[in-house]
Amino acid sequence: MLLERINNPKDLKKLKKEELEILAIEIRKALLNRMTNYSKKGHVGSNMGVVELTIALHYVFNSPIDKILFDVSHQCYTHKILTGRKDGFIYEEKFKTIGGYTDQDESEHDFFKVGHSSTSISLAAGMARARDLKGENENIIALIGDGALGGGLAFEGLNSVAEQGTNLIIIVNDNNQSIAENHGGLYKNLKELRENNGQAKNNYFKSLGLDYKYLDEGHDIKKLIELFESVKDIDHPIVLHIKTIKGKGLPYAEKDVENWHVFGNFNPETGKPKSISPIPENYAAITHDYLVEKMKKDKMVFFITAGTPSTAGFGQLQREELKSFNLQRQYIDVGIAEECATTFSSGIAKNGGKPVFCVMSTFLQRTYDQILHDLAINKNPAVLLVFAGSLKGMDAITHLGYFDIPMISNIPNVVYLAPTTKEEYLAMLDWGIEQNDNPVVIKVPSWTVRHSEKEPDKDYSNLNTFKIEENGGEVAIVALGEFFYLGKEVEELLKEKSGIKATLINPRFITGLDDKMLEDLKENHKLVVTLESGQKEGGFGQKISAFYSTSEMKVLNVGAKKEFTNEVPYDEFFIDNRLTKEQIVEDILKFL
């Protein structure tokens, strides 16, 4: 095998050009080996689509002296294979030695930990400016997909690069697909350029003052090498617009590109999962079903997504179904542009609409200014649904979902709600859509869907009112959102271990405190325990600690430490943060 001889990019350069096509076949087999045998999902389509492109890049350029930056790094697997990490794709026992994104701690050929969209051009522009001031002359190369190109940061990077005037090579990997389909005027121009072999009169990149070349055969290694050799050591910024096929080499992935954006542990021949489990009731489907019915009844209700509609259950079939209900105008995908989606929602709300923006916690981080400035200051009643905001969500360092509580709960005018059950979630969502006083954010539970034993409240306009679910004494457990049932387990174990019957409280509101209830707890409680599925520093529990700071009440905050973690197993993570019911009860008894 040729791949056995490749341990770094220098080895690649020893191959004949004719051998590179054989290497591409072997790399695709290695990619499939990892993605079909590893329990963690991998980015299938994007990685299969850039095999030849990445081989040609490393054949021509001199990494790590020449610096290759991957946007989002959904497409970095071939790069990892060629830069000394092939064992993580060949040997099952080595799968865990590499992550799914670029990581400078893994290799000198990686320069950033990245996992969010539209960053590579601005990062490359910064590296190029530093290079110029140091008087060096290496090539700086930014690889960005067409989907990521629609993000505002990508435009800002292009705009800056155009003025910079020195070597910077921007490769636009155009497979005519984001996670879902592309949306926005930019993509009409990319289509026009593809259809005219890059010769269309209208050219987005040239309009910014950038040099431009187009290659239609993005899987022809020889033509890719010729293109890259023609711009190596160039003395000005240039865009190389290259057409590729997402999922190249896998017929089922080429045909069904959205569902094959990310997948794992599947049969390589059929594309079917190796094991099929019944799909449990989940909040994505619950949200979709509720919103479709709501949109049918009220034409001013809008569903908004920033390129990830499946997060809220709007997959390909569900989006197609909207046409039969004549709801397609109430469905809005702004592309991978969370900042736009947030401010767009504020505009809809200001003009009488009822927007519901569904976003994952890790991507919500990109919208802090828009939430604070465009929503909160103006008190426009948009609804934001935060998915995967959990200690049991995605676990890659770039996709952690436990920073949203400190981020959102400290912004004035925002009402941040934490439901515990399906029924409570739908009641909060309905109230949030129909009220007109504040932006409402809802932390959608990520664990098993629970059901209410009794009818939940329908009106949450009496802000910051907690709810006592079980009365007790000595210890009060304030268990937020999806951690309510952890609180229930702690309450039961505490009674078993010590005989103490604790008070169990569902706070419901993250953005404020129920001062009266907290004051009343002083009468017959010695300890208040707060549980939250998020970072405890700056979070919900520390607000309660501050409330009791001048009293004799003791407070135990339970949550995640302030740190970045990377693919730590959940059991290990919970033990390390003392989040198991046994550890929490142990800590309670120590306090008492």
Query: Which amino acids are annotated catalytic?
Result: 246, 338, 366
Given a contact cutoff of 8 angstroms between Cβ atoms, the answer to whether 204 and 170 are in contact is no
- Interatomic CA distance for residues 480 and 484, integer angstroms: 5
Query: Residue 354 — left, alpha, or beta (φ > 0 → left; ψ -120 to 50 → alpha)?
Result: beta
Q: Which of 94, 155, 80, 91 is nearest to 125 (CA)?
A: 155
Instruction: Write the burial class of residue 495 (CB in 10 Å: 0-12 exposed, 13-18 middle, 19+ buried).
Output: middle
- Start-to-end CA distance of the chain, whole Å, equals 66
CB burial of 341-373 (b: ≥16 within 10 Å; e: otherwise) equals bbbbbbebbeeebbbbbbbbbbbbbbbeebbbe
- Find how far residue 512's CA is from the centre of its chain: 27
Given a contact cutoff of 8 angstroms between Cβ atoms, the answer to whether 540 and 409 are in contact is yes
Instruction: Extract the tokens encoding 72.
Output: 């989002």
* Other CB atoms within 10 Å distance of the CB of residue 25: 12
Q: Which helix (H) or strand (E) holds 383?
A: strand 383-387
Instruction: Extract the tokens encoding 475.
Output: 């210890």
Q: Is the dihedral of CA 132, 133, 137, 142 positive or negative?
A: negative
Given a contact cutoff of 8 angstroms between Cβ atoms, the answer to whether 71 and 267 are in contact is no
Given a contact cutoff of 8 angstroms between Cβ atoms, the answer to whether 397 and 362 are in contact is no
Given a contact cutoff of 8 angstroms between Cβ atoms, the answer to whether 378 and 94 are in contact is no
Q: Which of 322, 334, 177, 315 is nearest to 259 (CA)?
A: 315
- Interatomic CA distance for residues 212 and 174, integer angstroms: 14
Can you list the positions of beta strands (E) in 273-353?
Answer: 301-305, 331-333
Given a contact cutoff of 8 angstroms between Cβ atoms, the answer to whether 368 and 388 are in contact is no
Q: Which of 128, 25, 147, 130 is nearest to 68 (CA)?
A: 128
DSSP secondary structure letter of residue 450: P
